[in-house]
């Protein structure tokens, strides 16, 4: 009986040791999330007071400046890349910056996108772009396209817009990777109004469109 108990105890010890095994090997330490900010100021038109900015990326102790890119707004962080807009005088394009290889890829924007009146915005997942088309005939409308394929996903009706050289009346934002919200300025100084459009890329359609008399605060 005593021998049997001794054998049972030995078996339990062996099973316990097997269950414990060697200590687990620690996995790779995840890289810290990049901190992206705009730095410096480069004037592009002395008359209007607006300036281009450079993009600085801080990852841990490493600090990089995206080479050859001037912009007006913070780029998106999409996975291991930055996606944003770049400006060169009166022309505009897009850029993608690989956070791992520190390389820049330059892309062209749609031909019907005006660099200072269309107010373009990328979706949070970087798969679509929405903006206001202003053909120059005192009309305007909202569109969304795939990125970077530029396939048309949805388009709103056209409305009258004021003929002006002053940018800033249109606004575009994404409420989710599926839904974009667009404001197109349609009123004049004596009758302010905004064409308000909400569109869905999943439904490939405009969900709602109305006119606002007061500009919402985004």
Q: Are 112 and 105 a contacting pair, CB within 8 Å?
A: no
pLDDT of residue 26: 65
- pTM exceeds 0.85: no
Length of the chain: 218
Please give the Cα distance from 20 to 45 (Å, whole number): 69
Dihedral, CA of residue 181, residue 186, residue 191 and residue 196, to nearest 10: -20
pLDDT of residue 25: 66
pLDDT of residue 35: 94
pLDDT of residue 8: 47
pLDDT average per 10 residues of sequence, the chain (218 residues) = 47 49 62 88 68 93 94 94 91 95 96 93 98 93 98 96 72 98 81 91 98 87
pLDDT of residue 4: 47
pLDDT of residue 19: 53
pLDDT of residue 12: 47
């Amino acid at each position: 009986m005593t021998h049997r108990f001794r054998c049972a105890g030995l078996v339990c010890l062996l099973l316990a040791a097997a269950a414990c095994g060697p200590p687990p090997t620690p996995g790779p330490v995840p890289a810290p999330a990049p901190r992206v900010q705009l730095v410096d100021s480069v004037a592009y038109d002395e008359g209007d007071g607006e300036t281009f900015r450079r993009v600085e990326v801080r990852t841990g102790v490493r600090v990089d400046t995206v080479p050859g890119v001037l912009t007006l707004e913070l780029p998106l962080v999409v996975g291991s890349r930055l996606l944003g807009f770049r400006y060169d005088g009166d022309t505009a394009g897009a850029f993608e910056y690989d956070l791992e290889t520190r390389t820049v890829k330059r892309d062209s924007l749609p031909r019907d996108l005006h660099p200072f009146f269309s107010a373009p915005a990328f979706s949070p997942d970087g798969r679509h772009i929405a903006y206001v088309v202003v053909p120059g005939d005192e009309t305007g409308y909202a569109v969304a396209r795939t990125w970077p394929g530029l396939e048309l996903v949805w388009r709103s009706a056209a409305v009258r817009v004021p003929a002006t050289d002053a940018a800033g009346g249109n606004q575009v934002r994404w409420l989710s990777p599926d839904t974009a919200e667009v404001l197109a300025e349609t009123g004049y100084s004596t009758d302010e109004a905004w064409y308000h459009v909400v569109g869905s890329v999943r439904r490939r359609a405009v969900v709602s469109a109305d006119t606002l008399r007061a500009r919402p605060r985004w």
